[in-house]
Chains A and B, each alone.
Chain A
Amino acid sequence: MTDIDDRVAERTRARPVRDGVALGLAVGTSGIAFGAAAVGSGMSAAQACVLSLLAFTGASQFALAGAVATGGGLIGGAASAILLGSRNALYGLRLADLLPRRGARRLLAAQGVIDETTAVALAQPDADAARRGFRATFATIYVTWNLTTLLGALGAGRLGSPQSLGIDVIGPAAFLALIWPQLRAGRTERAVGLGGAVIALAATPVLPPGVPVILAATAALAGALLSPLPEPA
């Protein structure tokens, strides 16, 4: 093997870790947005931090903060937050073969099953690289997300009203950014997104806060039943 081959091999080996750390830093930093949104919604800094430490899944955390902001409907808010976390269960199905199969290590790995770790792990060419990418992403984003949650939570109190800082726009803008690549991916995805939005808005005046968002899952059900399936591989 030549030096060049060695170097190429080394670079290929480092790639999942480098990608994971970069994504972890970039996305983890938006914990500051969550901390600010959570405190702006009426949660305490401690509540924002505990949610980041224990729930550790951005969309669900923003959803609960949104429910707190609208006042009342906390059970519906928690329910829709948990329902939003259901995709992590589906990620877990795909990651189960890659992650520790039993014991404390599996319990720890489970906390890291989120969008970003899944994206990095599934982008790797083999199982070993996938594991290294998962670990690097999980470690980086966990530390960054929790530190910046604390910063955002502490800062928001001093800087003025959440409305004047535009913090009420952070939640919807973050969700839109998170689903944007999928909306671009296909017509069914766009139809389901639009359907979910219309269903939730139509239900908002007649159902308790939180429930309209859960009802939007029917758009996904319709999409799954009505859209043509990809050819089996």
Chain B
Amino acid sequence: MTAIWVAVLITAAGCYALKLTGLIVPRGVLDNPRVRRFAELVPIALLAALVAVQTFGAGQSLSLDPARLAGLGAAVAALLLRAPFLVVIVVAAGTAAALRALGVA
């Protein structure tokens, strides 16, 4: 529990420091177009990685959880139908929960 508190406070301090850094950094750092492009692409790479790891990862191994896969598939379907963020989340969790409740997956 103490370790989690430490992680929470480190994360909070780090996240705030980064927000402030953007406001106090000297102008012109992003004048280089490649640097700017990297900055734009970083969140896409990291978030896609998190989607993959949280879907297929189990600690340091990879596994297939049918209910979780179905939930993510439902999220993709909701996104293709242009559903709002919260609907996507509810559909994903609801699909996985329903499949587990029915004992299907």
Contacts and interface: CB of A to CB of B under 8 A. Distances in A.
Interface of A: 26-27, 29-30, 33, 42-44, 47, 50-51, 54-57, 59-64, 66-68, 70-71, 74-75, 77-78, 80-96, 99, 106-107, 109-111, 113-114, 163-180, 182-183, 188-189, 192-201, 204-209, 212-221, 223-225, 227, 229-230, 232
Given A88-B19, A166-B100, A204-B53, A179 B47 contact: yes
A129 B42 CA distance: 29
Interface of B: 1, 3-16, 18-25, 27, 29-30, 33-35, 37-62, 65, 67-68, 71-72, 75-76, 79, 84-86, 88-89, 92-98, 100-101
A182 B44 contact: yes
A99 B24 CA distance: 11
Contacts of B55: 172
Given A173-B93, A224-B37, A183 B51 contact: no
B34 A44 contact: no
Nearest to A33: B89
B43 A179 contact: yes
Name which of B16, B23, B30 has the most chain A CB atoms within 10 A of its CB.
B23
A168 to B, nearest CB: 6
Q: Is the interface of B mostly helix, strand, loop or mixed?
A: helix
Contacts of A80: 46
B52 A197 contact: yes
A55 B12 contact: yes
B49 A55 contact: no
Contact of B57 (A63, A70, A93, A216): A70
Contacts, number: 317
B95 to A, nearest CB: 7
17 contacts: A27-B85, A70-B58, A87-B39, A114-B19, A169-B67, A172-B55, A173-B89, A174-B88, A175-B48, A176-B75, A197-B52, A204-B60, A207-B60, A209-B60, A219-B45, A220-B46, A224-B34
Given A168-B68, A172-B55, A47 B4 contact: yes
A218 B42 CA distance: 8
Contacts of A55: 8, 11-12, 15-16
Contacts of B44: 179, 182-183, 189, 192-193, 196, 220
B23 A113 contact: yes
A61 B16 CA distance: 12
A208 to B, nearest CB: 8
